């Protein structure tokens, strides 16, 4: 069975994971991390991709993005290729670094964006890399809670709705992260991202389907899927 093309829908939020080959580290020090963030920002301007959130782990990175058009695959290709050249040259190695192509999903921002942002922020804590989200300097959490200013990050409109002042928004967002991500929601986000299927309720899916000929959810072979049940994985 032919592999489905990646789902890319302009103007919608995409959650994306890019992993190191065979689980190998893709960052060896902070200079590597800084260079990857620089590439995300530089090519974001080139390909009109807004980065709403990110986390850099040892062997993978995870992003929340909104592309203005259909250039998301080219954006990730540009970032990935330049980073591999840099990484191999700097560390005296050769060959592949990434585990094939990135995994991604389109999410219903109204229902899932804040949960997805909190998932990114909490990953270093879950991996025992930090005691608190704010202790990990390689995610967008510190920007959203007012601890630093990150030029890479473009807040989504839903973040601005959290409060009328910077302090109110920062406090409200910190409370969202502190509340954690429900296990069911986390499973939905992870499953959709790794599977390459969109995530949202039936109304969101119906609108989204008008933007693409690609199937949005797994279905019965030979029968195109036009809508899905809300919260189906």
Considering only CA atoms, which of 195, 185, 155, 158 is closest in space to residue 7? 195
Q: What pLDDT does residue 151 have?
A: 96
What are the Cα distances from residue 177, in Å, to 1, 58, 74, 113, 192? 40, 21, 31, 12, 21
Task: Point out which residues pair with 229 in neighbouring strands.
Answer: none
Lowest mean pLDDT among 95-99, 136-140, 210-214: 210-214
Helix (H, G, I), strand (E, B) or coil at 144: helix
Return the exposure string of 40-71: e unless at least 16 CB atoms fall within 10 Å of the residue's CB, then b: beebbeebebbbbbbbbbeebbbbbbbbeeeb
The model's confidence at residue 219, banded by pLDDT at 50, 70 and 90, is: low
Q: What distance in Å separates the CA atoms of residue 98 and residue 214, rounded to the nearest whole number?
A: 25
More confident residue, 211 or 219: 211
Given strand 60-67, what is the order of strands in its sheet? 49-56, 60-67, 13-19, 103-107
Q: What pLDDT does residue 76 have?
A: 97
Q: What pLDDT does residue 6 have?
A: 82
Q: For 34-53, what is the mean pLDDT?
A: 98
CA-angle at 143, arms to 138 and 144, nearest 5°: 120
DSSP class of residue 113?
H
Q: What is the mean pLDDT of the chain?
A: 91
Per-residue pLDDT for 222 more than 70? no
| Contact status, residue 204 vs residue 192, Cβ threshold 8 Å | no
Per-residue pLDDT for 223 more than 50? no
Per-residue pLDDT for 226 more than 60? no
Domains of the chain: 13-209 (3.30.70.1290)
CB count within 10 Å of CB 197 equals: 21
């Amino acid at each position: 069975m032919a592999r489905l093309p990646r789902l890319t829908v302009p103007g919608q939020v995409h959650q994306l994971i890019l992993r190191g080959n065979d689980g190998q580290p893709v960052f060896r020090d902070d200079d590597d991390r800084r260079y990857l963030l620089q590439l995300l920002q530089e090519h974001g301007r080139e390909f009109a991709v807004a980065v709403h959130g990110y986390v850099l782990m040892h062997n993978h990175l995870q992003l929340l993005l909104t592309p203005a058009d259909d250039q998301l695959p080219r954006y990730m290709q540009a970032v990935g290729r330049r980073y591999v050249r840099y990484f191999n040259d700097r560390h005296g190695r050769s060959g592949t670094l990434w585990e094939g192509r990135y995994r991604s999903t389109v999410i219903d921002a109204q229902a899932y964006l804040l949960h997805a942002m909190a998932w990114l922020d909490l990953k270093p804590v879950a991996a025992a890399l930090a005691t608190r989200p704010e202790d990990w300097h390689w995610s967008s959490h510190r920007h959203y809670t007012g601890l630093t200013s990150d030029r890479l990050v473009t807040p989504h409109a839903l973040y601005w709705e959290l409060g009328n002042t910077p302090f109110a928004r920062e406090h409200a967002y910190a409370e969202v992260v502190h509340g954690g991500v429900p296990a069911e929601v986390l499973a939905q986000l992870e499953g959709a991202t790794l599977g390459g299927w969109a995530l949202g309720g039936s109304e969101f899916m119906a609108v989204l389907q008008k933007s693409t000929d690609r199937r949005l959810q797994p279905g019965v072979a030979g029968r195109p899927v036009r809508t899905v049940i809300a919260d189906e994985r």
